[in-house]
Structure 1
Amino acid sequence: MSSPPPPGIYVPAVLFFTDDEELDDDAIKAHVLRLARGGVTGILVQGSNGEAQHLSHDERKYAIRLTRQTLDAHGFAHVLVIAGTGAQSTRETKKLNADAKEAGATHALVLTPSTWRPSMTKDAILRFHREVADASPIPTMVYNFPVVTAGLDLDSDTIAELGAHPNIVGVKLSCGHLGKLTRLVTALPSSSFATFIGRSDSFMPAVVMQGAGGIMALVNVAPRAHRVLLDAWNAGRMDEARDIQRMLSHADAICGKYGGIGFIKALVAKEFGYGGVTVRGPLLQSSVDKVSAQEGNLLRELIEFELKSSK
């Protein structure tokens, strides 16, 4: 029986590019180290925020390997590297999982195919994930993100059926559905299946319901804030945890409103002094200058908390 990733805080890391859209090694390494120093449990390379669909197979392997080597070289061997995989064919997904293992990932997060959306019946979904897990040299997890799978939204019954497979060890719920998380947490043992929320605006509620933690885009901006919230909750400091959740919820909505990946890159570059705003098309660049005064104040509150907590 394969083991799930340990509970905690995971980040679907953005991947920085130079102005000509080549991988920016220096910025990627700076980002990996800031996340690790911020207290993340693991880094997801090539989640949706890592622009996985915009990379060649060689680039995907390189980014995983670079992340693993950077962590190991700076005393963070304990920080996990998870690889986002999942392609539009079972065959290619199997290849991506083998590549992920070779590059240093311990687990694979597998997105469900969606090009042929009408053909993706429950039986087809079950068959895809089971065949991929059967062949994978590392444990797999189900990635449920309707926004990037043409609205395909796996229900808790389907995910629970997949969780019975010995090499399927968890799920990322980027749908943010707390009812679904609750059903999975209470249906499957945490020793064999980890249920992670995929949104920072639902982080504390997911922890309250004894989810495994979160794999959340906003951790790119504020890893330490997420860590302090989790530590406060575990120590019984409820008011402190709730106040941090308030900041995360507002910032999460703002990032989504102004461009998601592009906005997160722009915010990190402005506030932490590395990286740039380049995204690969058809994504569009974003700017922190778009936000209203009120939204700017909310972001500033979180950034100042992050900087203060990181000292």
Structure 2
Amino acid sequence: MFTKPLRGIIPPVITPMIDNDTLDVIGLENLLNRMIKGGVSGVFILGTSGEAQNISYNVRKELIKETCRIVEKRIPVLVGITDTSFSESLLLAANAALYGADALVAAPPYYFAPGQAELIQYYNDLANQLPLPLFLYNMPSHVKVMIEPETVLALSENPNIIGLKDSSANGVYFQKLIYLLRNKPEFTLLCGPEEMTAEVILMGGHGGVNGGANLFPELYVALYDAAASKDFEKLAELQSQVLRVSLSLYNIGKYASSYIKGVKTALNLLGVCSDYMAEPFHKFKDAERAVVKKKLIELGLDI
């Protein structure tokens, strides 16, 4: 088990796949070992970056098993259990506990957007039946509802709810969380958008769940360290590098999934893993792939 609060960079791991029903296990091993070698503080599987809602439950369960096997308790493993079905979330949680994961992560159920009172009841009901501690996951762009700061404060009273990952990219929201939870020093507050991670750490947040750490784990770990130690000169240099990665690789083509396509293509070009995208999405074609290669070279990589 990890120390609370959980600090550092916890990459939201992409899911390497060979086809819709086959996990790229060798690629997963390459990816996880690369991130661990880069100094990350944990890994988060079956999140947005992992295409969780697009892959079968069989593949999700295999991913949990293989990730825990490969990581081998070297760092904490966080497992996403977001689902519209309460029972399916519990089944994924049971698998996570069976194979040795350390914590769970759940965004609000999507499709019918729950109100805040419903969210409090839902998360308390869920947490009280889970075999592992739970992180809330604020992802309003995808689930149509914000977990309001007062809701987070209410849920923090549940001993099995230990933190929150915020992907809203709303700095005022994060400031409110830090203020409201100032008397709960063990409650972890993590930032999703990597462009904001340094700012969030300086505000008092605990770390970043940054997609770019799939590609450049050392960069994001160094960013966290510079922010945590308030080394502003180093931080300015690293923040510039992080923005170069983001602006270079995450907006190729006009797709909602451009970020995941860009990261997967880059990893494939680096020889790490397959770039297959789970249906209904598809990997970049040759023209877009050539753009990713050009951007990687501009970022200083020998492709």
Calculate the TM-score normalised by the size of structure 1: 0.87
In structure 2, what is the Cα distance between the partners aligned to 1:293 and 1:262?
12
Matches within 5 A, 1:96-175: 96-117=92-113, 120-149=114-143, 151-175=144-168
Look up the match of 1:83: 79
The structural deviation recorded for 1:257 is 1.5
Question: Counting helix residues as a fraction of each chain, which structure ranks higher?
Answer: 1
In structure 1, what is the Cα distance between the partners aligned to 2:94 and 2:201?
32
In structure 2, what is the Cα distance between the partners aligned to 1:173 and 1:303?
31
Look up the match of 1:182: 175
Of the candidates 195, 215, 227, which is equivalent to residue 221 of structure 2? 227
SS across alignment from 2:275: coil
SS across alignment from 2:141: helix
In structure 1, what is the Cα distance between the partners aligned to 2:175 and 2:247?
23
Given that residues 9 and 215 in structure 1 are in contact (C-alpha distance below 8 angstroms), is that contact kept between their aligned partners in structure 2?
yes
Residues 159/235 of structure 1: CA separation in 2 closer, same or farther (3 Å cut): closer
**Where does structure 1 lack aligned partners over 5 or more consecutive residues?**
none
Computed over aligned residues only, the root mean square deviation of the Cα atoms, in angstroms, reads 2.5
Deviation digits for residues 257-294 of structure 1, max 9, x if unmatched? 12111211001111x21212211111231268538989
In structure 1, what is the Cα distance between the partners aligned to 2:239 and 2:175?
19
The structural deviation recorded for 1:38 is 0.7
Look up the match of 1:273: 271
Look up the match of 2:29: 29
In structure 1, what is the Cα distance between the partners aligned to 2:292 and 2:175?
34
SS across alignment from 1:171: strand
The structural deviation recorded for 1:122 is 1.2
Aligned length: 295
In structure 1, what is the Cα distance between the partners aligned to 2:154 and 2:293?
42
| Partner AA of 1:263 in structure 2 | G
SS across alignment from 1:18: strand
Given that residues 266 and 288 in structure 1 are in contact (C-alpha distance below 8 angstroms), is that contact kept between their aligned partners in structure 2?
no
1:240 and 2:234 matched? yes
SS across alignment from 2:10: strand
Look up the match of 1:207: 201
Percent pairwise identity: 23
The answer to which of 183-192 and 130-139 deviates more is 183-192
1:252 and 2:246 matched? yes
Residues 295/235 of structure 1: CA separation in 2 closer, same or farther (3 Å cut): farther
| Partner AA of 2:210 in structure 1 | M
